[in-house]
Amino acid sequence: METVSENACFGGVQGVYKHASDACNCDMTFGLFLPEEAKDGPVPVLWYLSGLTCTHENAMTKAGAQGWAAEQGIALVFPDTSPRGEGVADDDAFDMGQGAGFYVNATQDPWAKHFRMWDYVGEELPALVAKEFAVDASRQGITGHSMGGHGALTLAMGLPGRYRSVSAFAPICHPTASDWGRKQLGGYLGDDEAVWAAHDATLLMRESGFDGPILTDTGTKDQFYKLLNTHDFAHAVGERGQQANLRLQPGYDHSYFFVSTFMEDHVSFHAEALYAG
């Protein structure tokens, strides 16, 4: 593992690191904020998954999360959104290829060689972070924005017992029924829609739900609101009787101005779950 940079931040350290990924068959870069408490022993960890076109850097520099995480003594991990580099497949469209991994393990060419983001975020990177840094793997939460909100919800429900809490900012909630989803799931996973179900938060909620609290925020002025299918997820939550707080925020759009406004709420929400018991 290579240290790209480390900066003092709210009494802790904001680092950027690069490593060779077996899952993605290329070098991957991630950001990690460690609060001051990590000097004395392992701290809880919150994963932040970013959206389309983003890298590890977007949320790390725009979400304003480190200050709130420092107050709570929580580490933050900012993975990249896809494999990258020479020889990694890409697409001219912003919503496929590099920057648009959709947090799935691709089975279709040309994506299958590198695009294994489910294994990377769900298995390989957590093992590396737990080995190299002072984080407590028994106390994990996960959040994300847009495509990353989709990833957070599906990983939380798809890996039972892994995360104590899950939240999302403007998540893509029902990708099998959306233009933001059908294209990507078909491209990465093939035409069998039964395979897509494991990556659809609404379908997973109907099937199994999440053993813990859920928080989501979506702006009423979100320019992509019709692609998110927030109402379908809310209906599934209601049918299951899932513990969840699904909020619509008047006047907010899809930007990091929206994300940063409600970041304190999300970090506090996760801290309550991560420090319980």
Q: Which CATH class is domain 2-275?
A: alpha beta
Q: List CB contacts of 213: < 8 A, sequence separation 6 or more.
A: 165, 166, 243, 244, 245, 269, 273
Can you tell me the distance from the alpha carbon of 85 to that of 87, in angstroms, rounded to the nearest whole number? Answer: 6
What digits encode the pLDDT tens for the residues 236-268? 999 999 999 999 999 999 999 999 999 999 999
Domain boundary assignment for the chain: 2-275
Model pTM above 0.85 = yes
| Model pLDDT, residue 183 | 95
Can you tell me the distance from the alpha carbon of 131 to that of 16, in angstroms, rounded to the nearest whole number? Answer: 16
pLDDT above 90 for 143:
yes
Is residue 260 a contact partner of residue 62, using CB atoms and an 8 Å limit?
Answer: yes
What digits encode the pLDDT tens for the residues 94-135? 999 999 999 999 999 999 999 999 999 999 999 999 999 999
Query: What is the full DSSP assignment across 197-237?
Result: GGG-HHHHHHHT--SS-EEEEEETT-TTHHHH-HHHHHHHH
What digits encode the pLDDT tens for the residues 41-53? 999 999 999 999 9
SS3 letters across 89-128: CCCCCCCCCCCCCCCCECCCCCCCCCCEHHHHHHHHHHHH
| Model pLDDT, residue 89 | 97
In the beta sheet, which residues pair with residue 9? 12
- Mean pLDDT over the full length of the chain: 97
- Residue numbers annotated as active site: 146, 222, 254
Tell me the backbone φ, ψ of residue 14, rounded to 5 degrees: -100, 115
